[in-house]
Amino acid sequence: MPTPKKKTSRSRRDMRRSHDAIDAVAVAVDKKTGEFHRPHRAFKAADGAYYYNGKQISAAKSKE
């Protein structure tokens, strides 16, 4: 098994891990329905239709 030639310093190790922190998920509020959703993504509202940027982009599918 390969072994490192030199010890990695705390500084270099921590610089490598600088992007590993978990950020809070971005949330936006829809203009029309007032529901929470991820920004820049189409989402399915309670009525079953898909919305993007406050506009309905597909009709709700009816169950028959």
Say what the pLDDT of residue 64 is.
61
- In terms of pLDDT, which residue wins out, 30 or 63? 30
What is the tens place of the pLDDT at every residue in 17-33?
998 888 888 999 987 77
**What are 15's two structure tokens?**
């610089």
Q: Give residue 12's pLDDT.
A: 96
Report the 10 Å Cβ neighbour count for 45.
16
User: Which pLDDT score, from 0 to 100, does residue 53 have?
Assistant: 85
* CB count in 10 Å sphere of residue 44: 13
| Contact assessment for residue 57 and residue 50, using Cβ atoms and an 8 Å cutoff | yes
Tell me the CA distances in angstroms from 35 to 21, 29, 41, 50, one per residue in order. Answer: 28, 6, 13, 12
Structure-model confidence comparison of residues 11 and 48, the more confident one = 11
Residue 8 confidence (pLDDT) above 90: yes
**Helix locations, 1-64, DSSP H:** 10-16
